[in-house]
Amino acid sequence: MEGWSSQYKSLDRALRHYRRRLGSEKTRENLLNFLKGLCVFSGRNPDELVALGVSEASEVVQAYLDSLADKGRSIRYINVAAAYIKTFFRVNGFEGENELRVERYFQPSRYRKRPEYVPIPEEIERMAYAAGTKRNRAVILTLYTSGLRVSTLQALTYGDIREELEKGLEVIKIPVYPEMKKRIPGACKGGIPYYTFISKETVVALKEYLQERVKKYGGIEDNEPLFCSDTTNLPAERRRKTPIMKKAIEQLVKKAAYRAGIKYWRDITPHSFRKAFESALRNNGLDLKDQEFLMGHILPGSQDAYYDYTKVENLREKYAKISFFRTSQTDKIEMIKMFAKTLGIQEIEIKIKKMKEEEPETDEMEILGRIVREELGIKPLELRKNKFKDKAGRRLRPQF
């Protein structure tokens, strides 16, 4: 099988049907995965399945769906599988009187198999501090302050934001567009283009991470993923061009929540940040249309036209007024002190006092950050542009 065609005539018909209707790579991937499961379960290829009579085909499909339930798959997963498989059979002649007779599993409203905990801003801030690496910190803050779906975050490239980074803007626009789906299926849900932003806290964290990337790899090309893989299973040249994996994002979120001492850390997922983002928009009184647009939802009528490129700055100004973190400076200092102690950094108060006496003009937050970095062996960042040059003296990206 290649792209949107297949050597099996029955599968080829289904692929062409979905290509005409949606053209979504994620839809294509779902169809292939569910149909593969049915083929393995039944021991038949796609053409052999549609050659069955309606009664036998219905029995095979129902037995396959029941097997998914026996394996503990969620009701939603089973019903989605049923929808794809029924469509496959329908485009191959199983309609009207010959339609598959398959029962759906009852799915109550607001059904969710696994519990989900949406962290509050203070908890997300603690998670960012506990993330472990500059990349992980930037990932958590980006998910929260942009509301991006995980697949969209994976599909972002450095070129998507380079121009805005180089302008030195505090709040940066994040574009979402259909072509992203070529990199990561599902990156632009429904093929709906829109844009969102990341906050000034996130921009600072992102710059620190990108500067670390430049030092590690010698530069960043526009077509490289904004967040690349850090697995040592890949050579460096492939690693820098490989997007961070979905599983890696899930793991870093869980680990950060655990380290931050959040009671329900097991129930926090990357998608939890999207819900936290939605709450932040709502709690800060943003107009409902603006909320829906920044979430990537379809707006009724022709209201999408309001958000064309000429209105970006207007929406950026509204976004910049959103307070994603309500922790005061004093509370932040106390929170970091507490976190430092959980990392095994002893006598933090004494160390702060001693450094304060040596450098009375330095504020306590900066002193605390320096102590934590020194204790954990993290080298301070060089923020000057002229540090990012190659051996020939040419400037390396990113240029902030």
- Write down the pLDDT at residue 381: 45
Q: Are 68 and 78 in contact (CB under 8 A)?
A: yes
Mean pLDDT of 216-240: 92
Res. 138 pLDDT band, cuts 50 70 90: very high
Res. 385 pLDDT band, cuts 50 70 90: very low
Among the residue ranges 83-92, 303-312, 366-375, 391-400, the one predicted with the least confidence is: 391-400
> Measured between alpha carbons, how far is 197 from 214 in angstroms, rounded to an integer?
23
Among the residue ranges 3-12, 31-40, 281-290, 306-315, the one predicted with the least confidence is: 306-315
Mean pLDDT of 260-271: 93
Cα dihedral 257→260→261→265 (10° resolution): -10
pLDDT tops 60 at residue 145: yes
* Average pLDDT of the chain, as a whole number: 86
Integer angstrom CA distances of residue 142 from 50, 130, 139, 202: 46, 15, 5, 6
pLDDT tops 60 at residue 89: yes
Contact residues for 390 (Cβ-Cβ < 8 A; gap 6+): 218, 219, 396
Q: Are 183 and 112 in contact (CB under 8 A)?
A: no
User: Is residue 2 classed as helix, strand or coil in its secondary structure?
Assistant: strand
Mean pLDDT of 236-254: 94
Read off the amino acid at residue 334: E
What are 5-34's pLDDT values in tens digits? 899 999 999 999 988 876 778 888 899 999
What are 310-369's pLDDT values in tens digits? 789 999 999 999 999 875 555 666 667 766 766 677 787 788 888 878 887 777 777 877
pLDDT tops 60 at residue 38: yes
> Measured between alpha carbons, how far is 78 from 7 in angstroms, rounded to an integer?
27
Q: For residue 123, what are its two tokens?
A: 């908890």
Q: Are 387 and 398 in contact (CB under 8 A)?
A: no
Q: How much helix, strand and coil, in percent to the nearest 5, is found in the chain?
A: 60, 5, 35
Secondary structure element (H or E) that encloses residue 198, with its range: strand 194-198
pLDDT tops 60 at residue 141: yes
Q: Are 151 and 245 in contact (CB under 8 A)?
A: no
pLDDT tops 60 at residue 370: yes
Rounded to two decimals, the pTM is: 0.66
Q: Do you know the residue count of the chain?
A: 400
Task: Give the highest mean pLDDT range of 121-130, 155-164, 187-196, 234-243.
Answer: 155-164
> Measured between alpha carbons, how far is 53 from 57 in angstroms, rounded to an integer?
6
Sign of CA dihedral 290, 294, 295, 301: positive
- Write down the pLDDT at residue 278: 95
Integer angstrom CA distances of residue 264 from 41, 184, 246, 254: 37, 30, 21, 10
